[in-house]
Amino acid sequence: MDHSDDKLTHFNEQGRARMVDVTDKAVTARVAVAEGSVTMAAETLRRIRDRSIAKGDVLAVAQIAGIQAAKKTADWIPMCHPLPLTGVNIQFSDNGEDTLTISAEVKTTGKTGVEMEALTAVSAAALTVYDMCKALQKDMVIGPIKLLIKTGGKSGDYALAAE
């Protein structure tokens, strides 16, 4: 069976890690949406919504953290290309009980996708929620964090199957 198209592109001829060469790839509009959750006590979620956490407005700070993280993804993830992002949108929702959901939509026009930027944005926002609320509750649970949608590029579009 021919697996020539299944080559792991992050390895060079010597089997060592490399950043993928995207020189010859087409510039296309690219979008990625990721989502994650932070599960916590109902009281913690209520205090986040009421903006009564001692460190300040948790969602405002987490939103900025997510945007900053998306912009700095190449500094965190060794093989990621630094990308000029054209948009980052972080949104929050909750189930009214014990789970805060964080979503990040990241856009660029370029030669490589923004999946890692969206996943990093959600991760940083969730970690910021934890950091700002840990004095109140240390047993919060982060995750799962997952890619929901990816559009653009040679590999085509992706959408996570409904659960």
Amino acid 110 reads G
Rounded Cα distance, 49 and 136, in Å: 14
Question: CA-CA distances (angstroms) from residue 102 to 58, 133, 148?
Answer: 12, 16, 12
Using DSSP's 3-state secondary structure scheme, residue 57 falls into coil
* Contacting residues for 17 by C-beta, under 8 A, at least 6 apart: 10, 11, 78, 79
The one catalytic residue in 98, 131, 139, 157 is: 131
Residue 24 annotated as catalytic: no
- Residues marked active site are found at 131
